[in-house]
Structure 1
Amino acid sequence: MTPIDPADAVPDGLLEAFRAYERALMTDDIDAMDSLFAAGPETLRGDRGGLLVGHEAIAAFRRGRGGAPARTLGDLHVQVVDADTALIMVVTLAASGGRGLQTQLWRRIDGTWQVTAAQVGPPPQTFDPTVWRVVGDPLVAGAESGPLAGEGIAVKDVFAVAGHQVGAGVPAYLAGSPLAETSAAAVGLLLAAGASVRGIARTDQFAYSIAGTNEHYGAPVNPVVTGAVPGGSTSGSATAVSLGAAKIGLGTDTAGSIRVPASYQGLWGLRTTHGSVPTDGLLALAPDFDTVGLLTRDSELLRRAAAVLVPSATAGCGGLVMDPAVIARASADVAAAVAAAVDGLGTRNTVDLGDLEKAYEAFRVHQAFQAWQVHGEWITSHPGALKGAAAGRFEIAAAVTVEQDAAARQVLAGARSRWDEALGDGVLVLPSAASAPPLLTDPPEAVDRVRAATLTLTCVAGITGRPAVSVPGLTVEGGPVGLCLVGPRGSDLALLDRAAALAATRP
């Protein structure tokens, strides 16, 4: 570190405070870093992940980060504003390579130098391993012409892509996975329509999550809400679309893995009618619920891509329906936002879906049972391969008995029959998720509560096999919330048309 300014031009104690912060950063001394950032709600910290406002938000980010990458310092420049204010800009040299730039505004507060604003510019990153497993330019080229010509796809790492492995978010599984000879059916349809595969995107471990965090690879950034989970398990594809690195995200939705990241990142998301898109070349989680889905930034592209995957989805949609008790299962702010949006959508009927909690519990049991049937043998033979929450879910899944699953399937059949009768050809309106996106630093028990509440909402489409569209546009204090429309089976395209029309007319 070589200060450019003459020593007598730098206020007393400033460089010592700066060096103390750098030592704390490299040793992950959270308390020391917190003490060197000004207290209060106006302190700022920005990086490529977004802007954090207030000392509390910055401190929470540090606690959840798990340490900063190793680095040394290059040239340092100081611009003195006055005796108690100075700007420091320093070149950072990452141990892994590359040059970054850090800017800090320091103020002397009650005799102590503290940072009041900081901008962290790490070395340029040409490949983000939390978002992508492998990328290309393109990775696989599509047909020269077609309705999706020129569009790039981020493919969730559960679909086979010719010449590549399926990793499913688990390093040990990737290590033993063979190269795919042909692409999955859904990938092939999009390629034939002119789209190209931009890359294979990260997913949660075996896609058994709706958070989007992966203990092996980290969590893709949520570009809309700084420090929040991206939503999973189609997390990498969602973030790639949100960042503009791909135009189309190809994923799956078993229990909400398209709708939740769409809600958390303000995207359009479609869960197709169960069984309408061939699942050849798709690594299953729970086949009775697994469904191919799409994510985009706008409704027009989503409609074009959906027409490629489900051209035979010709059923129509009836009027809008809602169940106030279902909407009330979301957090109070989300329920209020959705209720206000529904009030502006015109005439709708009210339905009673009954005991949603019982249906969700049956959904959870049958999903777990099937997940263990699909992956249990591999997991048993690879102890320690899974980490964190996913490992815990599979441990629970291993304990589900045949008798418990049979009872759950009976409950599911009853719920499906009742809901089909109640909904008919109507379009059910409900939240895409029970809350704004949780923060990565939220306590696990709080995240679990949000997860359970969200799955109680998303299981309606899962149990009935109906298509569902997450429409962006609602916002609560913590971030975006999707408005979900669930239509009759086979109404995917008509449902998208209805969703686009509603979005265009909604205040």
Structure 2
Amino acid sequence: MKHITSDAFLPGPRYRLAATASGPLTKLTFAAKDLFDVAGTPTGAGNPDWERSHPVPQAHAWAVSTLLNAGAELVGKTVTCEISLGILGFNQFFGTPANPAAPGCLPGGSSSGSASAVAAGDCDIALGTDTGGSVRVPASLCGLYGLRTTHGRIPFAGVCAQAPSFDTVGWFTRDATTFARAATVLLEEPVPDLASAPLLVAEDAFALADLEVREALAGPVDLLGRVLGHAPRNIALGMPGELAVWSAQRNILQRHEGWRTFRDWIDATNPCFAFNVARNLTLASGFTDAQAAVAASLRQRVLARARELLEGGAILCLPTTPFTAPPLGLPLQELDALSERISQLTSFAGFAGLPQMSLPLGTAGGKPCGLSILAWHGQDARLVAVAEAIERARS
């Protein structure tokens, strides 16, 4: 499949938007994925027909406004996969943002441009969204800190939705200190002091990763245990084969919700899509309410397992992605297989609405791979505290 490497930012004149006040993020810059509304600027959602058929927003998205009010300067909108449907980062219309950490490779998506911009040093912070892994995956492949927040934790106002019961706001930085500064603002609470906590290692999730990724993350897992004050304890997320079942059912429910989000616009506009996006939407249109109900019922099983593991305060870790950044130019059949492998690692947090943070702690074959930490609902700031402690321990 052909991929034209592009700049992380949307084509056309670059603009800057000054901070609206001084604050804890003064002198920092940020970018926003082209799903976030910026007043007076079109929101394109990665598709020219979306931009053409939607009015220019008159107000900022909540997250954009919050960063501006905290002293950060907006330096532009970044490329996203079309209507956020993509996990590897390519876009037929605007090209594939470069992966500065792995040149010649995919950056991960759909927040690909945001990750690319931060990894290249073009901004300090970049906003993304995570529905099925779209912050976690590019964070891993581009060697960044990235957080999928607890579902509903950050207002989604002013952001193009995909699957509302999965959609979350997240962000990227190159270092944990800057990440924590942004977290204090976006989570509207201070990052706490790190407390001792049990560390759970998801053996079945690690078994899905390439050998080189497992080996690259072994040391970071041990370090994480030392920082948390507990030896790692191996557990299984599910029964044998369950991760694949959860992935398949999460995919049904997410696509069913996505079709309901976009179908009226598609019917009215007849937009042009890349083949893979059009194909996935066509498949989504065929899922029935009964199939979605079965998937939603399985979500309760995943949520119960998450509660059992994490409600008492434990931290869970697993590989963020099962491999490092794939090369550009792979055929669609291979890209589909890679996406399916990723989904088995991202579906647990997505189904259960958990916060999950990818830490840039591994390198395999000269390319980054992330170690993810998960906690119970609302404990996003705890994960940031862990990231800061790990960064201090490594310095």
Q: Same fold (TM over 0.5)?
A: yes
CA shift for structure 1 position 211: 0.8
Say yes or no: does 1:352 pair with 2:236: yes
Structure 1, unmatched stretches of 5+, are 1-62, 69-127
Check the 8 A contact 1:274/1:289 in 2, yes or no.
yes
Say yes or no: does 1:300 pair with 2:172: no
Per the alignment, residue 176 of structure 1 pairs with 53
Structure 2, unmatched stretches of 5+, are 226-230
Per the alignment, residue 293 of structure 2 pairs with 406
CA shift for structure 1 position 383: 3.3
Which of these residues, 60, 65, 82, is aligned with residue 205 of structure 1?
Answer: 82
CA shift for structure 1 position 303: 0.6
Per the alignment, residue 349 of structure 2 pairs with 461
CA shift for structure 1 position 299: 0.7
SS at match of 1:438: coil
Quote the RMSD (CA, aligned, Å): 2.1
Check the 8 A contact 1:158/1:168 in 2, yes or no.
yes
The Cα offsets for residues 344-368 of structure 1, whole Å up to 9 and x where unpaired, read as 4331223221121111111111100
Per the alignment, residue 490 of structure 1 pairs with 378
Per the alignment, residue 75 of structure 1 pairs with none
Check the 8 A contact 1:213/1:232 in 2, yes or no.
yes
Q: Which amino acid aligns with 2:236?
A: D
CA shift for structure 1 position 130: 5.4
Check the 8 A contact 1:436/1:478 in 2, yes or no.
no
Q: Say which is worse superposed, 417-426 or 157-166, in terms of deviation.
A: 417-426
Flag the structure with higher strand content. Answer: 1
**1:333-482 alignment to 2 at 5 Å?**
333-346=212-225, 347-354=231-238, 355-383=242-270, 385-424=272-311, 425-477=313-365, 479-482=367-370
Size of the aligned set, in residue pairs, is: 384
- Give the direction of change, closer, same or farther, for the CA distance of 1:450–1:340 in structure 2 (3 Å limit): farther
Between 1 and 2, higher relative CO (CA 8 Å, sep ≥ 6) is seen in: 2
Distance 2:277 2:60 in 1: 27
Check the 8 A contact 2:302/2:348 in 1, yes or no.
no
Check the 8 A contact 1:268/1:299 in 2, yes or no.
yes
Check the 8 A contact 2:306/2:376 in 1, yes or no.
no
Q: Which amino acid aligns with 2:143?
A: G
Check the 8 A contact 2:223/2:390 in 1, yes or no.
no
Distance 1:464 1:474 in 2: 26
Check the 8 A contact 1:345/1:506 in 2, yes or no.
no
Distance 1:340 1:311 in 2: 33
CA shift for structure 1 position 391: 1.6
**1:86-105 alignment to 2 at 5 Å?**
none
Rg comparison, structure with higher value = 1
Flag the structure with higher helix content. Answer: 2
CA shift for structure 1 position 244: 1.4
Normalising to structure 1: TM-score of the pair? 0.72
- Give the direction of change, closer, same or farther, for the CA distance of 1:221–1:191 in structure 2 (3 Å limit): same
**1:69-148 alignment to 2 at 5 Å?**
131-133=9-11, 136-138=14-16, 140-148=17-25
- Give the direction of change, closer, same or farther, for the CA distance of 1:129–1:495 in structure 2 (3 Å limit): closer
Say yes or no: does 1:500 pair with 2:388: yes
Normalising to structure 2: TM-score of the pair? 0.92
Check the 8 A contact 1:437/1:478 in 2, yes or no.
no
Which of these residues, 126, 136, 140, is aligned with residue 249 of structure 1?
Answer: 126
Say yes or no: does 1:275 pair with 2:152: yes
- Give the direction of change, closer, same or farther, for the CA distance of 1:130–1:215 in structure 2 (3 Å limit): farther
SS at match of 2:224: coil
CA shift for structure 1 position 170: 0.5
CA shift for structure 1 position 270: 1.3
